[in-house]
C-alpha cells in the first residue's frame, strides 16, 4: 500500500467524512457516528462516512470511522482511493487528519500469510487536502506501520516465532545507527543467574533468550526509559498444562515482546532525541521432561527466591528477571512493561481496555491520559499492601501465586509480584491479555486476532510534546 498526499483528489473512488451539521442532502443517511453510505455519481464512487455531531466527535470517532471507510474500499475491490482530509474550517478536533490516517492504515491490515488465495489489495491511497503537515503524516505512518509489524509477529505460528526468532528481529534492528542490540543465550543467562527466565524456558527445544535493545537518540543525556515485554512464544502452561479452550490462542503470549519490537522499530526510523531501552524476556513455556516443576524454588537474578506454585504463572517469572536486569544494568528513570499476564484482566476489563498498575501516580496519570487520546485505553487497578502480603512464601521469599482463593484478584497479585523487582524505580505495568488479541470480529481499526496494542500508546507517551 502506497500512501501519498495531494492538494486535490484524483481517484474515482473517494472517502468523504461528514458531520451531522454539514450533512449533504442524502436520503437514508443521518451521518451518525460510523454510518456509511455509497453514492455513484458521474463515474465516481463516493463513500460518505458519518462522524456524528461535530462537537461530540473525538479523534477515536474519526480513527474508527476511517477504518470502516477503507474497509468499504476493500469490499468494493477498488485499487485506488482518495480520502478527503479535513481543513482548518471543518476539522472537528485538533489532530483529526492524523487520526484519519491512523484509521486508514490500521484498518487496511490483512493477515494473509497462510491464505492460498491472496486478498484484495489497495495499491494507492491518496490523502487529499490543503496545507497537510507532511512531517506529522510521515511520523504517523511510521508508527502505524510498526503496529502492523507487531500484529504480524503475534499472528504468525508459534513454531516459527521462537525466542531466537525474536532475537533475530532485534539483531536486524541493530544494523541501524543509534541502537545497540545484545542477546543473552541460555548459557550466558545461567552464568548471570537469570534463573527464572531459564526455568521457564527449560522444557523447550527452542531455548530462552534475554534480548536488549538500547536506542540512544540523545548521547548527552543519561536518562532513559525502559520498555519491557513478556515474550512467551507459546504458553502451554507447562506442567500445570492449560486445558482445551484456553490453550489455542497462546501463541499470542509474546504480544508484549512484539510491542517492544514494534516500538524499537519505530524509534529507529523516527530518530527522536530520547533514550529508550527495550528488554524482552523470551521463552517457550513447554511441557516436557526438562520442564521446571511446581513446588521447586528458584533464585532470581536479584537474589530473591521464588516458590513455583504454578508453572502457568510464568510471565511474571520471566518479567521479574528482565526487570531486575534492567534496573541493575541500565538504571532507567522509568520502567513500563507490557505483558499478556493474566486471564483475570479480561474478566475485569474485557477486550477493549488494558489493566494499568503502577507505583507512581504521576506516571499512571500520564499513561492513562495518553491512552484516552490515542484510543488505546487503560484503567488503573490498586496495589494495596494486602495483595503483596499474599505473596509471602513459607519455603522461599515469594510465591508466584497469591494465597488468595483461586482466581481472585489474579491480575493485581501478578502486578504486585512484579513490583517486588523494580527496586523503587517509577514503574507501570500494562496487562494486555485482553487487548492484544481480538477473539471476536473486526472493530474498525482493531482487526480480528492480533491488535498491536501498546505500540501507539508507548510512542505517544514518549513523543508527545505537550504536557498532558
* Number of CB atoms found within 10 A of residue 272's CB: 16
Contacts of 333 (CB under 8 A, 6+ apart): 223, 224, 225, 425, 426
253 lies in the site for Zn ion, by CB under 5 A: yes
The closest residue (CB) to ligand BES is 343
CB-based contact 150:455 (threshold 8 Å): yes
Residues that contact Zn ion, how many (by CB under 5 A): 6
Cβ 436 to ligand BES shortest distance, Å: 7
Answer for which of 105, 154, 184, 232 binds Zn ion (CB under 5 A) is 232
Cβ 435 to Zn ion shortest distance, Å: 15
What is the distance between the alpha carbons of residues 115 and 433, in angstroms, rounded to a whole number? Answer: 26
Joined grid coordinates for residue 307: 516458590
Binding partner at 186 among ligand BES, Zn ion, none, C-beta below 5 to 8 Å by kind: none
Which residue number, 237 or 262, has a Cβ lying nearer to Zn ion?
237
Cβ 156 to ligand BES shortest distance, Å: 17
258 lies in the site for Zn ion, by CB under 5 A: no
Where is 353: in which H helix or E strand? none
Residues paired with 277 in a beta bridge: 214, 226
Q: Which of 97, 161, 92 is nearest to 127 (CA)?
A: 97
What is the distance between the alpha carbons of residues 417 and 432, in angstroms, rounded to a whole number? Answer: 17
Residues that contact ligand BES, how many (by CB under 6 A): 15
Q: Is residue 304 annotated as part of the catalytic site, yes or no?
A: no
Residues paired with 283 in a beta bridge: 232
Cβ 458 to Zn ion shortest distance, Å: 20
Cβ 84 to ligand BES shortest distance, Å: 40
Which residue number, 314 or 337, has a Cβ lying nearer to ligand BES?
314
Residues 304-363 that bind Zn ion (CB under 5 A): 312, 314-315
The CA-CA-CA angle for residues 439, 232, 105, to 5°, reads: 50
Residues 59-78 that bind ligand BES (CB under 6 A): none
Strand locations in 273-358 (E): 275-285, 297-299, 305-307, 334-339, 354-358
Alpha-carbon radius of gyration of the chain: 23
Which residue number, 122 or 341, has a Cβ lying nearer to Zn ion?
341
CB-based contact 225:333 (threshold 8 Å): yes
What is the distance between the alpha carbons of residues 342 and 339, in angstroms, rounded to a whole number? Answer: 9
Q: Which stretch binds Zn ion (CB under 5 A): 134-142, 229-237, 359-367, 430-438?
A: 229-237
Answer for which of 313, 391, 409, 412 binds ligand BES (CB under 6 A) is 313
* Number of CB atoms found within 10 A of residue 37's CB: 17
337 lies in the site for ligand BES, by CB under 6 A: no
Cβ 347 to Zn ion shortest distance, Å: 15
Which residue number, 163 or 344, has a Cβ lying nearer to ligand BES?
344
Which residue number, 341 or 348, has a Cβ lying nearer to ligand BES?
341
State the binding string over 239-278 for ligand BES (x if CB under 6 A, else -): --------------x-------------------------
Q: Is residue 242 annotated as part of the catalytic site, yes or no?
A: yes
State the binding string over 76-115 for ligand BES (x if CB under 6 A, else -): ----------------------------------------
Torsion of CA 188, 191, 196, 199, to 10 degrees: 80
Instruction: Look at residue 37 and give its three-state secondary structure.
Output: strand
DSSP letters for 283-294: EEE--STTS--T
Length of the chain: 468
Residues marked active site are found at 242, 316
Interacting residues toward ligand BES by CB under 6 A: 235, 253, 310, 312-315, 340-344, 401, 410, 433
Amino acid at each position: 500500500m502506497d500512501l501519498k498526499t495531494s492538494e486535490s483528489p484524483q481517484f474515482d473512488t473517494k472517502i468523504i467524512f461528514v458531520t451531522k451539521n454539514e450533512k449533504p442532502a442524502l436520503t437514508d443517511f443521518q451521518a451518525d457516528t460510523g454510518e456509511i453510505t455509497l453514492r455513484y455519481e458521474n463515474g465516481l464512487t463516493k463513500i460518505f462516512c458519518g462522524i456524528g455531531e461535530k462537537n461530540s466527535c473525538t479523534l477515536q470517532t474519526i480513527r474508527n470511522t476511517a477504518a470502516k471507510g477503507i474497509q468499504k474500499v476493500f469490499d468494493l475491490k477498488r485499487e485506488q482511493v482518495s480520502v478527503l482530509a479535513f481543513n482548518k474550517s471543518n476539522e472537528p478536533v485538533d489532530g483529526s487528519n492524523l487520526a484519519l490516517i491512523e484509521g486508514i492504515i490500521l484498518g487496511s491490515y490483512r493477515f494473509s500469510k497462510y491464505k492460498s488465495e491472496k486478498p484484495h489489495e489497495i495499491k494507492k491511497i491518496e490523502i487529499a487536502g490543503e496545507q497537510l503537515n507532511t512531517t506529522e503524516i510521515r511520523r504517523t505512518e511510521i508508527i502505524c506501520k510498526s503496529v502492523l509489524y507487531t500484529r504480524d509477529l503475534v499472528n504468525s505460528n508459534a513454531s516459527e516465532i521462537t525466542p531466537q526468532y525474536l532475537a533475530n528481529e532485534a539483531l536486524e534492528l541493530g544494523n541501524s545507527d543509534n541502537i545497540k542490540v545484545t542477546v543473552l543465550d541460555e548459557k550466558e543467562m545461567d552464568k548471570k543467574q537469570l534463573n527464572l527466565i531459564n526455568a521457564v524456558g527449560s522444557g523447550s527445544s527452542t531455548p530462552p533468550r534475554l534480548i536488549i535493545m538500547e536506542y540512544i537518540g540523545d548521547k548527552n543525556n543519561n536518562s532513559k526509559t525502559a520498555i519491557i515485554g513478556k515474550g512467551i512464544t507459546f504458553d502451554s502452561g507447562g506442567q500445570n498444562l492449560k486445558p482445551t479452550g484456553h490453550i489455542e490462542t497462546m501463541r499470542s503470549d509474546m504480544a508484549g515482546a512484539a510491542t517492544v519490537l514494534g516500538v524499537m522499530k519505530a524509534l529507529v526510523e523516527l530518530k527522536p532525541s530520547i533514550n529508550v531501552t527495550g528488554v524482552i524476556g523470551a521463552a517457550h513455556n513447554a511441557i516436557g521432561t526438562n520442564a521446571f516443576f511446581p513446588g521447586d524454588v528458584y533464585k532470581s537474578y536479584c537474589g530473591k527466591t521464588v516458590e513455583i506454585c504454578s508453572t502457568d504463572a510464568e510471565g511474571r517469572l520471566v518479567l521479574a528477571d528482565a526487570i531486575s536486569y534492567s534496573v541493575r544494568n541500565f538504571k532507567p528513570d522509568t520502567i513500563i512493561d507490557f505483558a499478556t499476564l493474566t486471564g483475570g484482566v479480561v474478566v475485569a476489563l474485557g477486550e477493549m481496555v488494558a489493566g494499568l498498575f503502577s507505583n507512581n501516580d504521576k506516571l499512571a496519570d500520564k499513561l492513562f491520559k495518553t491512552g484516552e487520546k490515542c484510543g488505546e485505553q487503560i484503567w488503573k487497578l490498586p496495589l494495596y499492601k494486602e495483595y503483596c502480603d499474599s505473596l509471602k512464601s513459607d519455603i522461599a521469599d515469594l510465591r508466584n501465586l497469591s494465597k488468595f482463593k483461586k482466581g481472585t484478584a489474579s491480575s493485581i497479585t501478578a502486578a504486585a509480584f512484579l513490583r517486588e523487582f523494580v527496586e523503587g524505580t517509577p514503574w507501570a505495568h500494562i496487562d494486555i491479555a485482553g487487548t492484544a488479541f481480538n477473539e471476536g470480529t473486526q472493530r474498525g481499526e482493531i482487526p480480528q486476532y492480533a491488535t498491536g496494542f501498546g505500540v501507539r500508546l508507548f510512542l505517544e507517551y514518549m513523543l508527545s510534546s505537550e504536557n498532558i
